[in-house]
Amino acid sequence: MKFEIEAEIPEGYEPTGEYRIIGVDEPFLNSATGIVSVGSETLSMCKRIILRKKRWIPVGGEVYFFISSDAVWNCKYYDTDTDEDRIKIGNCFKTEEEAKAKFEKFLEVLKEEYSS
């Protein structure tokens, strides 16, 4: 069974094509308010339009930031295999601040996972 839902998707987000019960910390479109909300354990079990943040992708010669094993670096986008690999795995950021924030989260995950 196919159906279409007419809804205004907020800027910076795009629909995933899924309409289902949401998970904890999963962004969705709140039909009552028309804004993006995040799933919590206290939400009802009704179905929602599932969203994801739009991924920013640089264009020819534009500077972007990425995370390496020890720091945040920047470089210009020239559509190389390396550029495309970084974009594919989500390691491409528009600002240094955004990349540094993700780098810190990454380090926290590693510390939790491997600290004894």
pLDDT in tens, 1-21: 555 666 677 777 777 777 776
pLDDT in tens, 77-106: 999 999 999 999 999 999 999 999 999 998
Instruction: Please give the residue that has the higher pLDDT: either 35 or 52.
Output: 52
* 71 pLDDT higher than 90: yes
The residue among 13, 84, 93 whose CA lies nearest residue 53 is 13
User: Residue 34 is encoded by which pair of tokens?
Assistant: 């028309």
* 32 pLDDT higher than 90: no
Q: Residues 6 or more apart from 74 whose CB is under 8 A from it? A: 63, 64, 65, 66, 96
